[in-house]
Amino acid sequence: MAPHSTIPSNVLPAALALPFAVAALAALLGRRLGAVAGWIVAAAAAGSFLLLLDLPGHDAVASFRVPWLPEIGVDFALRADPFGRFFALLVSGVGFFVALYAISYMADGDERRMPRFWGALAAFMGAMLGIALSDDLLLLFLFWEITSLSSFLLIGHHDDEPAARAGALLALQVTALGGLVLAVGVLLVAQVTGTFSISGIAGDPARIQALLDSPLAPGALGCILVGVFTKSAQFPFHFWLPRAMVAPTPVSAYLHAATMVKAGPFLLGRMLPVFGQLPMWTPVLATVGLVTMLLGAWKAFRETDLKAILARTTGSTLGFLTLLYGFGAAEQDALQMLNHALYKGALFLVAGIVDHHAHTRDLRRLGGLRRELPLPFLAAVLAGLSMAGVPPLLGFLVKESFYDELLHSDAVSGFALGRGFVVAACVLANVFVAAVAAKFVIGTFLGERREGASRGGHHAPHAHVDDGARPAGPPLWVSPLALALGALALGLLGATDFTGHLAEAIASRRSHPFHVSLIPTPGLPLWLSMGGMAMAVALYLARGRMGRIPDLVETHHRPDRLWERMVASLAVLGEEVSMRWQNGSLRRYLAATLLSVPVLAGLALARAGLSHRDVVVSLSELPWFGLFLCVLLGIATMIAVTATTRLQASIATTTVGFIVSMLFVVYRSPDILLTQILIETVSTIFVLLVLLFMPGFPRRDMSAPGHLGAIAVATVFSLVVTLLLLLSMTPGLRENANIAVRPGGLLSLALEKGGGANAVNVIIVDIRSLDTNGEITVLVAVGLCVYALLRARRARSEGGAGA
Amino acid sequence: MNAESPILRTVARYAIPLTMLVALRIFFQGHDLPGGGFIAGVLLAAAGAIHLLANGVGRAAGIRWWRVSVVGLLVSVSNGIWPMLIGHPYMDNEFLHLGSFHLPTATFFDLGVMLIVVGTLMTIFVELSLEKR
C-alpha cells in the first residue's frame, strides 16, 4: 500500500454525526415532521456524501482520533483511507437515492411507524459510515452491532405481520450472535498485537508477523470470519437473507443489496493485509465463497418472487466476493461492490415499483408491464444488462477483470480444487445469474399483460394501498433510473480507462497495475465471457425444462427452519432447567441454601487445614444465665417445630428471636441487639399481616424420608455453623481470622478513614458503601415489585368483579 | 386491619412520636455508637406499623411510600456522584466542617438508606393491609 501522509480532519466526525443527529431528530419529532422527515434523511445522506467527497485527495488520508477508553487503549479513531472512503461514499450515495425513493414508496404506510422507520434508516446509515471509517477494531464492532439492531427495526417494519417479526428476529439472532463472536475475534487480535488500531496493525509488518506466529491467530481469524459470514449471509449462515425480504423494499435495496451485507466483504478487505498469509485463509474463504455462490445462483433460478430472486443472487455475489478475497484477488473489490450496489439497488427499487403497481411480485402472475411502466422498464433493462455482464455496462468490465484476475492469481493454483474447477464454478454461477437477470426483466416487462396481476386482484402482503396514491416525494422511477444510469456511465467511461483508475484508487490492496477497458481484448477472459453469455441464453430458453428438475437442495431440511427449531429447543431446555431448579418449593430452596454453607465452609476449612480438633473451648467462661437462655432457646425451637397452627409457629419463632436478643445482652453486643429486636418486631408484624393469606398448616405433603432428610440437612448445617463459631472464638485463630480486630483491620480503618467509632456503621455507609449502594437498590426494587404485583392483582380481581 | 382498640389508639398517640424521636437519635449517633440509617429506618417503619394497627390503613395509604424509597435512592446515589464532579472517585466521602461541628458526607448516604428502608417497609405494610381478607 502506498504510504499516505495523514492529516487530521474534523470533517470525518461531522460526516459521521450527521446521520445520527438526523436519526434522533426523526425518531423524536417524526410524527410532527411527517414526510419532511424523509427529505431530512435524504439531505443528511447527501450532506455526508459531499463532506466525504470534499476530503483531501490521493496523497493524503484524513483521520480523526480522540482517546475514548484510554485505560484499555481504545480510541475514537476515524480514518478515510481510499477503500474506507469509497465504502462510505457508496453508503451515503446509495442512501440518498434510497431515502428519496422511500419518501414516495412509504407514503401510504402506517404513519405511526414512520418515525421509527426514518430514525432507524438514518441510524443505520450512520452506523455503516462508522464501519467504513473506523480505524479502531472495537469502534468498528460497536457500529457493526448498531447496524444489526437498526436493521432489525427496519426488517420488522410491518410489526403486525408474524412473517415480518419472524424474519426480523431471525436476522437479528444470526447477525447479532455473529457480531458477538466477531467481538471475541477482535479482542484476540488486540490481545496479540497490543493495539486496537486497524491502520496500526495493517501498517506494521512486525505486528502482523507476531499475529501470524501466535497460536491464537487461527482462533481470532475464525471468530472474525463467523462475524463476516453471518453479516453477509455466507454459507452456512445464508438462510436469514431470503427471510429478511419481508422488509419494505427500500430497506431490502439498501440493507440487503447495497450496504449492510457488504460490511462482511468490507471487513475481509480490511483483514486481508493482516491475515492474508495465514494458511487457513484461502481454503476457508474459497470454499465458503464457492458454496455460497453456487447455492445462491441455483436457488435464484428456482425462485419466482422478484425480491427472493434478488436476495438469492445477492447471496451469490457476496459468495463471489468472499471467493475473491480468499484468493487475495482484491485488485478490484471496490469495483465489484460498486457495480453490485448500482445494479442490484436499481433492480430492488424496480421490484418495489412493480409490487406497488401490480400488487404482486410473483413472476408467474407478472408480464407485459413495459407500456405501463416505461421508465422503470428502462432502469431494469440497464441494471439487468449490467448484472448479466453485457457491454457497455459496468458489469462487463468487472466480470472481464475478474476472469483475468482468476486466471493469473497464484493463490488459485495453490487451492486444493485447482484453478480449472474454480474458473468453471465462477463461469457457471455467472451463467445462472445472467439467466436470472433475463428472467427478471423479460418476465416482468415483456410478453403479455396478465390479468391475474391486475389491480384489485391478488394483493401482495406489502402492497398496502393501490397506486392512485399521492406521491409525497419525487416519482418512484427516479432512484432506480439514476442508479442504473450510473452503471452505464461508469461502463462507458471505462473506455477512457477512467474506471480502471477509479478501481486502482479505491481498491483495498494493489499488487500490480490494474487495467480494464471497454474495448475487448481477445484472450481467455473474453472467450469465457462470451461462452458464458451463450450458455446463459441457452439456460434462459430452457428454463421451463429446467424447472421440472426436482430441486433437492434445501427443500426438506430448510436451514432457517432448523435454526428456528434450535432456538425453540433452547427455550425449552431453559424452561426445563429453571423448572427443575426454581420449582417454587421454599423447602427445597432452603435446603439448597443450608447445604451450600457446609460445603463451602468445609472447602475453606480444608484449605486452611482446620478441623474440630483445633477448637479449644472452656465452658467455664460462659455465664450461667447464658446457658439458661440456651435451654429456653431449645424449648422454644421445639415448640416452633411441633406447632400445629400457623399462629402458634409464628409466636414460637418470634420467641426464639427475642431469646437470641437476650443472648446479645448477655454477651454485650448492643449493636446487633438493637437490630435483632427491631427486625423481630417488624417480621412479627409481617407474619401477622400475611397470616390470613397462607394455606392450611401444617401441610401433610411431607413423607417420612422427607422428614428424615430435613432433619439431616438441619443437623449438618447447625453442626458446621457451630464449628465455625467455635473456631472463630478460639484463641490464636481469632486474631488472625478476624479482619476487624487485627492491626490495620477494619476497626482501625473505620476510625482513621471514616472518623467513626461504630465500625459496623462506618463500614456500611463509607468503607463498603458501594456494596450498600447495590443492596439498597435491590431493596427499592423489591418494594416497587411488591407494590406493582399486589396493585395489579387487586386491580384485576376488582375489574373481574365489576365485569 | 381495623383493630379499633381504644387502648392501642391511646398508647399509639404517645408511642409514635416517642419512637420517631428515638429513631432520630439513633440515626445521628450511628457514627460512633450503635445505630445508623438502617436501624432508624426500621424503627420509623415500626412506628408506622403501630399507626396502621391503631388507626387503620386509611391515612397511611394516602402516601405513596414507594416514592419515599425512590427519593432515598436518589439521595444515596447523588451523594456518591457529587465527588465525581470534583474529580474524586464515586462514593468518596468527605467531612464538612461547619465551625466546630463535623459532618461526614456519609451521613447523607445513610439518610438515603433510612428513607429506602422506611419507604420499602411501609409500602409492603400498606399494600398487605389493603389486601382483601
CA distance A23 to chain B (A): 31
The mean per-residue pLDDT over the stretch A381-407 comes to 82
How far apart CA A212 and CA A218 sit, in angstroms, is 8
How far apart CA A225 and CA A157 sit, in angstroms, is 29
Q: What is the pLDDT of residues A654-689, one digit of tens each?
A: 999 999 998 888 877 777 888 888 888 888 888 888
Q: Which of A322, A159, A170 is nearest to A239 (CA)?
A: A170
The per-residue pLDDT for A457 is: 40
CB contact under 8 A, A766 and B106: yes
Strand bridging mode A60-69 / A5-8? parallel
Q: Tell me, yes or no, if B101 comes closer than 8 A to chain A by beta carbon.
A: no
What band does A782 get if pLDDT is binned at 50, 70 and 90? very high
Higher pLDDT, A769 or A697: A769
How far apart CA B83 and CA B79 sit, in angstroms, is 8
What band does A456 get if pLDDT is binned at 50, 70 and 90? very low
CB contact under 8 A, A756 and B91: no
How far apart CA A277 and CA A286 sit, in angstroms, is 14
Q: What is the pLDDT of residues A559-606, one digit of tens each?
A: 888 888 888 999 999 999 988 888 877 888 888 899 999 999 889 888
How far apart CA A334 and CA A398 sit, in angstroms, is 10
User: A789 and B64 in contact (C-beta within 8 Å)?
Assistant: no
Judged against a pLDDT cut of 50, whether residue A469 lies above it is answered with: no
CB contact under 8 A, B42 and A773: no
**Alpha-carbon separation of residue A772 from A161, A610, A766, B91, B112 (angstroms):** 47, 32, 9, 11, 11
Q: Tell me, yes or no, if B120 comes closer than 8 A to chain A by beta carbon.
A: yes
* pLDDT > 90 in chain A, percent: 18
The kind and range of the H/E element at A678 are helix A670-690
**Alpha-carbon separation of residue A570 from A230, A565, A661 (angstroms):** 20, 8, 50
How far apart CA B26 and CA B69 sit, in angstroms, is 20
* pLDDT > 70 in chain A, percent: 85
**Alpha-carbon separation of residue A82 from A3, A87, A262, A401, A491 (angstroms):** 12, 9, 16, 20, 21
How far apart CA A370 and CA A377 sit, in angstroms, is 6
User: A300 and A313 in contact (C-beta within 8 Å)?
Assistant: yes
Q: What is the mean pLDDT of chain A?
A: 82
User: A75 and A190 in contact (C-beta within 8 Å)?
Assistant: no
Whose cell is 445472467? That residue is A434
Judged against a pLDDT cut of 90, whether residue A229 lies above it is answered with: yes
Judged against a pLDDT cut of 50, whether residue A463 lies above it is answered with: no
The mean per-residue pLDDT over the stretch A240-268 comes to 88
Judged against a pLDDT cut of 60, whether residue A357 lies above it is answered with: yes
How far apart CA A553 and CA A295 sit, in angstroms, is 8
Which residue does chain A place closest to B41, by CA atoms?
A678
The cell numbers describing A158, all together, are 410491518
The alpha carbon torsion through B124, B126, B129, B132 (nearest 10 deg) reads: -90
The mean per-residue pLDDT over the stretch B75-91 comes to 79
The per-residue pLDDT for A86 is: 86
* pLDDT > 70 in chain B, percent: 88
Chain A residues near residue B31 by CB distance under 8 angstroms: 754-758, 761-762
CA distance A48 to chain B (A): 36
The per-residue pLDDT for A580 is: 83
Q: Helix, strand or coil for residue A78? A: strand
The alpha carbon torsion through A219, A220, A224, A230 (nearest 10 deg) reads: 20
What band does A61 get if pLDDT is binned at 50, 70 and 90? confident
The per-residue pLDDT for A246 is: 87
Mutate to test the interface with B, among A665, A752, A765 (most CBs of B within 10 A): A765
CB contact under 8 A, A783 and B119: yes
How far apart CA A343 and CA A349 sit, in angstroms, is 10
A797: Cβ contacts below 8 Å, ≥ 6 apart: B132
How far apart CA A117 and CA A119 sit, in angstroms, is 5
Q: Which of A108, A765, A676, A514 is nearest to B104 (CA)?
A: A765
CB contact under 8 A, A790 and B119: no
The per-residue pLDDT for B1 is: 46
Q: Tell me, yes or no, if A682 comes closer than 8 A to chain B by beta carbon.
A: yes
The mean per-residue pLDDT over the stretch A69-73 comes to 80
Q: Tell me, yes or no, if A779 comes closer than 8 A to chain B by beta carbon.
A: yes
CA distance A791 to chain B (A): 8
Greatest mean pLDDT among A405-409, A517-521, A588-592, A695-699 lies in A588-592
Q: Tell me, yes or no, if B47 comes closer than 8 A to chain A by beta carbon.
A: no
Whose cell is 389491480? That residue is A455
How far apart CA A89 and CA A262 sit, in angstroms, is 13
Mutate to test the interface with B, among A776, A785, A790, A791 (most CBs of B within 10 A): A776
What's phi and psi for A550, nearest 5 deg? -65, 135
CA distance B127 to chain A (A): 7
Closest CB to B34 among A671, A693, A790: A671
Chain B residues near residue A784 by CB distance under 8 angstroms: 66, 69-70, 123
Amino acid at A334: A
The cell numbers describing A176, all together, are 447479532
Residues 730 to 769 of A: which have CB under 8 A from any B CB?
754-758, 760-762, 764-766, 769
How far apart CA A558 and CA A554 sit, in angstroms, is 5
Mutate to test the interface with B, among A780, A785, A797 (most CBs of B within 10 A): A780
CB contact under 8 A, B124 and A686: yes
How far apart CA B116 and CA B67 sit, in angstroms, is 9
The per-residue pLDDT for A416 is: 64
The mean per-residue pLDDT over the stretch A226-255 comes to 89
Whose cell is 470534583? That residue is B86
Which residue intervals of A361-393 are DSSP H helices? 374-388
CB contact under 8 A, B104 and A675: no
Q: What is the pTM of this model?
A: 0.73
How far apart CA A334 and CA A332 sit, in angstroms, is 5
Q: What is the pLDDT of residues A98-138, one digit of tens each?
A: 998 888 888 877 777 888 888 999 999 999 999 999 999 99
The per-residue pLDDT for A452 is: 52
**Alpha-carbon separation of residue A665 from A626, A655, B29 (angstroms):** 10, 15, 20
The per-residue pLDDT for A462 is: 43
Higher pLDDT, A364 or A513: A364
* Beta partners for residue A63, in sequence order: A8, A79
The kind and range of the H/E element at A67 are strand A60-69
Higher pLDDT, A508 or A141: A141
The per-residue pLDDT for B31 is: 72
The cell numbers describing A474, all together, are 419525487
* Beta partners for residue B102, in sequence order: B97
A314: Cβ contacts below 8 Å, ≥ 6 apart: A233, A241, A256, A257, A261, A296, A340, A344
CA distance B99 to chain A (A): 17
B49: Cβ contacts below 8 Å, ≥ 6 apart: A682, A685, B125
The mean per-residue pLDDT over the stretch B4-32 comes to 87
CB contact under 8 A, B66 and A784: yes
Q: Tell me, yes or no, if A678 comes closer than 8 A to chain B by beta carbon.
A: yes
Q: Which of A263, A268, A437, A249 is nearest to A345 (CA)?
A: A249
Judged against a pLDDT cut of 70, whether residue A754 lies above it is answered with: no
Residues 21 to 40 of B: which have CB under 8 A from any A CB?
26, 30-39
The per-residue pLDDT for A619 is: 64
In three state form, how does the secondary structure of A291-303 look?
HHHHHHHHHHHHC
How far apart CA A755 and CA A152 sit, in angstroms, is 55
The per-residue pLDDT for A732 is: 67
Q: Which of A50, A552, A60, A500 is nearest to A299 (CA)?
A: A552
The kind and range of the H/E element at A77 are strand A74-80
Judged against a pLDDT cut of 50, whether residue A491 lies above it is answered with: yes
What's phi and psi for A63, nearest 5 deg? -145, 165
The per-residue pLDDT for A460 is: 42
How far apart CA A745 and CA A54 sit, in angstroms, is 64
In three state form, how does the secondary structure of B33-83 look?
CCCCHHHHHHHHHHHHHHHHHHHCCCCHHHCCHHHHHHHHHHHHHHHHHHH
User: A298 and A421 in contact (C-beta within 8 Å)?
Assistant: no
Which residue intervals of A514-645 are DSSP H helices? 524-541, 543-547, 559-581, 586-608, 624-642
Q: Any idea which of A167-171, A437-441, A766-770 has the lowest mean pLDDT?
A: A766-770
User: A322 and A234 in contact (C-beta within 8 Å)?
Assistant: yes
What band does A466 get if pLDDT is binned at 50, 70 and 90? very low
How far apart CA B9 and CA B53 sit, in angstroms, is 9
Q: Tell me, yes or no, if B84 comes closer than 8 A to chain A by beta carbon.
A: no
Q: What is the pLDDT of residues B46-71, one digit of tens each?
A: 999 888 888 888 888 888 899 999 99
Q: What share of chain A is helix, strand, coil (3-state, %, to 5)?
A: 75, 5, 25
**Alpha-carbon separation of residue A785 from A778, A791, B124, B127 (angstroms):** 10, 10, 10, 11
The per-residue pLDDT for A458 is: 40
How far apart CA A490 and CA B105 sit, in angstroms, is 70
Q: Tell me, yes or no, if B87 comes closer than 8 A to chain A by beta carbon.
A: no
Closest CB to A777 among B73, B95, B123: B73
How far apart CA A358 and CA A375 sit, in angstroms, is 16
Q: Which of A583, A570, A345, A320 is nearest to A432 (CA)?
A: A320
